Amino acid sequence: MLRAAITWPVGLFLCALGLSANAEWGINMRRGVTDVSQSVFDLHMTIFWICVVIGVVVFGVMFWSMLMHRKSADSKPATFHEHVGVEILWTVIPLVILIVMAVPATKTLIDIYDADEADVDILVTGYQWRWQYQYVGEGVSFFSTLTTPRDEITNVSAKSPDYLLEVDNPLVIPVGKKVRFLVTASDVIHSWWVPDFAVKKDAIPGFINEAWTRVEEPGIYRGQCTELCGKDHGFMPVVVQVLPQDEYDTWLAEQKEAAAKEAELRDKTWTLDELVERGEKVYTTACASCHQPNGEGLPPMFPALKGSQIATEDMAAHLDIVLNGKPGTAMAAFGKQLSEVDIAAVITYERNAWGNDTGEMLSPIDVLKAKEGQ
Amino acid sequence: MSAVIDTHHHDHAHGPAKGLMRWVLTTNHKDIGSMYLWFSFAMFLLGGSMAMVIRAELFQPGLQLVQPEFFNQMTTTHGLIMVFGAVMPAFVGLANWMIPLMIGAPDMALPRMNNFSFWLLPMAFGLLVSTLFMEGGGPNFGWTFYAPLSTTYAPPSVTFFIFAIHLAGISSIMGAINIIATILNLRAPGMTLMKMPLFVWTWLITAFLLIAVMPVLAGVVTMMLMDIHFGTSFFNAAGGGDPVMFQHIFWFFGHPEVYIMILPAFGAVSQIIPAFSRKPLFGYTSMVYATAAIAFLSFIVWAHHMFTVGIPITGELFFMYATMLIAVPTGVKVFNWVSTMFRGALTFEAPMLFAVAFVILFTIGGFSGLMLAIAPADFQYHDTYFVVAHFHYVLVPGAIFGIFASAYYWLPKWTGHMYDETLAKTHFWMSFIGMNLAFFPMHFVGLAGMPRRIPDYNVMFANFNMISSVGAFMFGVTQLLFLFIVIKCIKGGTKAAANPWEGAEGLEWTVPSPAPYHTFTTPPEVK
Amino acid sequence: MSEQQSNKPVVTRLVLTVIGMFAFGFLMVPLYDVMCDALGINGKTSGTAYRQEVEHIDESRTLRVQFVATRAQGMAWDFNPDAEQLSLHPGETREMLFYAHNPTDRPMVAQAIPSVSPAKAAAYFHKTECFCFTQQVLQPGESVEMPVRFIVDPALPTDVKHLTLAYTLFDVSERMPDKLASASAQAH
């Protein structure tokens, strides 16, 4: 009966482990898609089983005592209260187990700290509250921002499977190649984590950290920021798309062209309605989390734009604050994060939405001129 | 000549003063112990309410109840209040009540400082809680308050947060000085160090830890204050400082702090298990040495909280090995508790239920701690709910159950009545089930990838979060039952003998129940 | 009363320990810098110009040096390296220019903070001239090309094949009011 009391829970637990395939009731770490992530998984399982065995033995003795050595079972208490030999044994045996465990752990750590040459170098910068990815030496750089609609967050519409784990521009890397991540931050400490790669590195303002991965399987891999960084710490996911080499090369070439395309877009003539339509999308991605979808903000930290002086009267001040931010506050310099087209669009939107109705519009060329100090 | 430290006038020598001023001015260790215990319980309920807000928001994905800014204030103040307002003062309260009784002393060594130590706490926490109502809100940067989120990017109330920490720190330091002086100087003749009850030993060691590290906490928050107000750049890279240095200094305090929060529980459980096994504690000497080893090792493991900041490999290996090493003395203690029970004559009144649950569940917390020590694996656990599960297992069934076990064990001594055993067992089972429902699933969501300190999460984490929240609500509501049990016990119940527990030993059981206002005015004889 | 006296030595020693540990907390600040310097960790490079002679150029090794620039929050300047990488031999003196431009309508003072990765390479990265040694003042609309001149020590461990020099640019206008005052004076 006692044996059953032990084997049933352990057996059920072991079965439950097998259920990890089902994501909703998943209970274990993933194996991941890199050699490092598999080594880490193996370390995790090894130390886990060591703990299970020790636990079964120790708790087994306890449950045995609780059953067989109860006073109500007429147990007479023994008087022994020391035994040097057994104390030495249960000091030395755990020590040996730990030394044995430390060997593979050390080896995996040495692998992780490998500083060999990489094929791709990516500067990962944490901002409040999005990531920026820059392909060093390629002239490609972009921001990666959460795109989950606010309606899903506020429970107005149903949540998609990638709720809070979807972005506009994922990081794209080639499969089978060593990719190095140079991780830093522009404001507070963030942390960049992709569970499937077993890569987690803190992003520290003013300092550069290094991590690397070599992904063996194409696919889309999702992670999150893992260091409290303020209000939207839970809303700045990491999404990495791993492509076969040829598709990666195509993508990279397209990115380089995109810079040229942006210039075309900037130079064309826009209508008010076109800017407002684009501006609403930009606002939703870049501004709404602080200034709210209804423009009312969360004063005093996040001022209202609806009916505000800056969005209805002083156009120059409006442009300046969007481009250059406001030091000492959470308002970032979006001139560095958004294209001229997007800045023109979002300012035009803000000046015409929520009843602001100024009828004014700003062209991307005007934004460019302001950026160049004219 | 009598050994009384007579600090009040002889007209009041008959007993305690009357009215509210009794409590304001008392220097009696029993009064002060009671005040600490009531204060800590109030803080436990307050910190617990914040946990209820957190779990209510996390009951389902999506933002339902609170905005992320407020959620961050809840997680931060929940941690600060539980660590500094509930667990630490509860142990100080137990120390105040029981250490003089256990060593045969008439009171603490420095009774007036004792009073001041207590009254600093309502000041400190009144100030801390008031920050929630200030413009910009209360602290929202986690109980670990990393810079620069807690300096450059902090709300204006951060200055008051720093001041509150200073006040609570001064209270702890004075309390620790008092405890060391008491234990070293006021033991009854014949009570050598190696005859002291384990609760006294663990508190002696804890007090040394407090002396060593609370000033470092004071230092780090002073550096924050200087960065915020006086233009220094300790943690500001722009001025040549380093945010990572904050973490080193903080965790140099922080790691011994978590042992400060558990060693007294080790001591209490080491007295309760022998009592209810009717068998002496197995391995008294090695229990003392193991506690000292844990305390010593606690100073050299701090960077295991920082495995992902970019420490060079030699550092990571050192801290990994040192952290794994702490498992050895801790394991020794667990084996000794189990050996105490083995071939005893066990009964399972409430103190023993909590003590046994402590051993099992704290050990589970210790296992997840050992897993966290493996640095490369920690890259997957760090800052996820796996860590939240770990520390709640060592703190809730660890420290908190240790406090409950102690409360039930010594309530007859404090009040003169037996508590209601049926209600107490109900409190135990509801707490046990609630706690496991709340925190066991956190291992799973952490492994599955859910980060800490987030108010909203992907749907794949939803099922376990819902279970966690249900467990948390259950655990929370049950503590109101504990309040009822304590009040009921104070007001009445079966009369308690001087020693109501068949297997209990120690000087505290030689005085009547309830313990008279002044005890051991003449030191007892200890063989 | 004898108990009161016998407490004094213990209490005195404990109070002195408390004061000592508070001081130790502050001592950890320079200690941290010393440890980082001595162990060559943390990626921090020296804040002063490297004056020593370099013995030789190791032509047998080629290293890739990358340059990246980050702006801190609220720093509106344009700031990037003229080139993102170059190859060199350890022992060679090389230079990289960083472009900075102030697009705002007020004079500003900036501080560039360097960081080197891998961290162990930092001790071998010697800057003989760097714009990061001082603050930079730019008038509204002004731009500048700022040099960093450096040598990678041939003693660099052989398992390091590349290194990255990263600068983060901070707005220190408010922290350096005197620099700003003289900058504004220049503008008028």
Q: Which pLDDT tens digit goes with each residue over A29-70? A: 999 999 999 999 999 999 999 999 999 999 999 999 999 999
Q: Residue A359 class from Cβ within 10 Å (0-12 exposed, 13-18 middle, 19+ buried)?
A: exposed
Which secondary-structure segment (H or E) carries B46? helix B29-57
Whether residue B244 lies within 8 A of chain C, CB to CB, comes out as yes
- DSSP of A85-115: HHHHHHHHHHHHHHHHHHHHHHHHHHHHT--
Q: Which pLDDT tens digit goes with each residue over B85-142? A: 999 999 999 999 999 999 999 999 999 999 999 999 999 999 999 999 999 999 999 9
Q: Name the phi and psi angles at B126, rounded to 5.
A: -60, -45
Torsion, Cα B374 B378 B383 B384, to 10 degrees, reads: -100
CA distance A331 to A325: 5
User: In DSSP terms, which residues pair with A34 in a beta bridge?
Assistant: A215
Q: How confident is the model at residue C188 (pLDDT cuts 50, 70, 90)?
A: low
Q: Which pLDDT tens digit goes with each residue over B479-509? A: 999 999 999 999 999 999 999 999 999 999 9
Q: How confident is the model at residue C174 (pLDDT cuts 50, 70, 90)?
A: confident
Among residues 421-460 of chain B, which lie with CB inside 8 Å of chain A? 443-444, 447-449, 451-460
Q: What is the mean pLDDT of residues A305-327?
A: 89
Which secondary-structure segment (H or E) carries A203? strand A199-203
Question: Which chain A residue shows the shortest CA-CA distance from B137?
Answer: A301
Whether residue A123 lies within 8 A of chain C, CB to CB, comes out as yes
Q: Is the pLDDT reported for residue B1 higher than 60? A: no
Q: How confident is the model at residue A4 (pLDDT cuts 50, 70, 90)?
A: low
Nearest to B13 by CA among B523, B517, B524, B520: B517
CA distance A211 to A20: 28
Q: How confident is the model at residue C54 (pLDDT cuts 50, 70, 90)?
A: confident
Q: Which amino acid is at C82?
A: D
Q: Is the pLDDT reported for residue C10 higher than 90? A: yes
Choice among A66-80, B56-70, B318-332 with the minimum mean pLDDT: A66-80
- Work out the percent of chain B whose per-residue pLDDT is above 90: 95
Greatest CA separation for chain B: 73
pLDDT of residue B3: 44
Nearest to A359 by CA among A271, A280, A265: A271
Q: Is the pLDDT reported for residue B144 higher than 50? A: yes
Question: Which chain A residue shows the shortest CA-CA distance from B382?
Answer: A226
Question: Which of the 8 DSSP states describes residue B312?
Answer: -
Q: Which residues contact B489 (CB under 8 A, 6 or more apart)?
A: B411, B415, B417, B418, B419, B420
What integer best gives the mean pLDDT of chain B?
Answer: 95
Q: Which chain A residues are Cβ-neighbours of B157 within 8 angstroms?
A: none
pLDDT of residue A238: 98
Q: Is the pLDDT reported for residue C105 higher than 90? A: no
* Matching residue, tokens 């071939």: B343
pLDDT of residue A145: 95
- Work out the percent of chain A whose per-residue pLDDT is above 70: 93
- Work out the percent of chain B whose per-residue pLDDT is above 70: 97
Whether residue B252 lies within 8 A of chain C, CB to CB, comes out as yes
Q: Could you tell me if residue B90 is left (phi over 0), alpha (psi between -120 and 50 degrees) or otherwise beta? A: alpha
Q: Is the pLDDT reported for residue B12 higher than 90? A: no
Nearest to C110 by CA among C184, C45, C175: C175
Question: Which chain C residue shows the shortest CA-CA distance from A116?
Answer: C161
pLDDT of residue A189: 98
pLDDT of residue C22: 96
Q: What is the mean pLDDT of residues B11-26?
A: 78
Q: Which pLDDT tens digit goes with each residue over B298-344? A: 999 999 999 999 999 999 999 999 999 999 999 999 999 999 999 99
Q: Which pLDDT tens digit goes with each residue over A320-338? A: 899 888 877 778 888 878 8
- Residues composing chain B: 527
- Helix B243-260 crosses helix B284-297 at what angle (to 10 degrees)? 170
- Helix B111-130 crosses helix B29-57 at what angle (to 10 degrees)? 20
CA distance B328 to B397: 20
Cβ-nearest to C29 among B213, B245, B252: B245
Paired tokens of A6: 């032990």
pLDDT of residue C123: 86
CA distance C50 to C42: 19
pLDDT of residue A374: 53
Q: Which pLDDT tens digit goes with each residue over B258-298? A: 999 999 999 999 999 999 999 999 999 999 999 999 999 99
The size of the A-C interface in CB pairs under 8 A is 107
CA distance A191 to B149: 13
Q: Which chain B residues are Cβ-neighbours of A61 within 8 angstroms?
A: 338, 342
| Residue of A150 and B351 predicted with greater confidence | B351
pLDDT of residue C58: 86
Question: Beta strand pairing status for C78-81 and C125-130?
Answer: unpaired
Q: Is the pLDDT reported for residue B373 higher than 70? A: yes
Cβ-nearest to A226 among B61, B383, B463: B383
| Residue of C51 and C187 predicted with greater confidence | C51
Q: Which pLDDT tens digit goes with each residue over A337-373? A: 888 899 999 999 999 999 998 999 999 988 888 877 6
Report the 10 Å Cβ neighbour count for A241: 16
CA distance B415 to A275: 75
Q: A69, A61 in Cβ contact below 8 A? A: no
CA distance B48 to C145: 57
Q: B5, B523 in Cβ contact below 8 A? A: no
Nearest to A231 by CA among A187, A197, A267, A268: A187
Q: Which residues contact A207 (CB under 8 A, 6 or more apart)?
A: A184, B237, B242, B243, B244, B310, C42, C43, C44, C115, C168
What integer best gives the mean pLDDT of chain A?
Answer: 90
Q: Where are the beta strands (DSSP E) in A109-159?
A: 120-127, 130-135, 140-144
Whether residue A215 lies within 8 A of chain C, CB to CB, comes out as no
The 3-class SS string of B360-374 reads HHHHHHHHHHHHHHC
pLDDT of residue A3: 57
Q: How confident is the model at residue B31 (pLDDT cuts 50, 70, 90)?
A: very high
Q: How confident is the model at residue C187 (pLDDT cuts 50, 70, 90)?
A: low
Cβ-nearest to A78 among B279, B313, B379: B279
Paired tokens of B138: 């209360």
Report the 10 Å Cβ neighbour count for B158: 24
Q: Which chain C residues are Cβ-neighbours of B319 within 8 angstroms?
A: none
Q: Which pLDDT tens digit goes with each residue over A155-172? A: 999 999 999 999 999 999
Whether residue A316 lies within 8 A of chain C, CB to CB, comes out as no
Cβ-nearest to C115 among A207, A332, A371: A207
pLDDT of residue A136: 93
Q: What is the mean pLDDT of residues A199-220?
A: 96
First to last CA, chain A: 86
Q: Is the pLDDT reported for residue C144 higher than 70? A: yes
Question: Which chain C residue shows the shortest CA-CA distance from A115?
Answer: C160
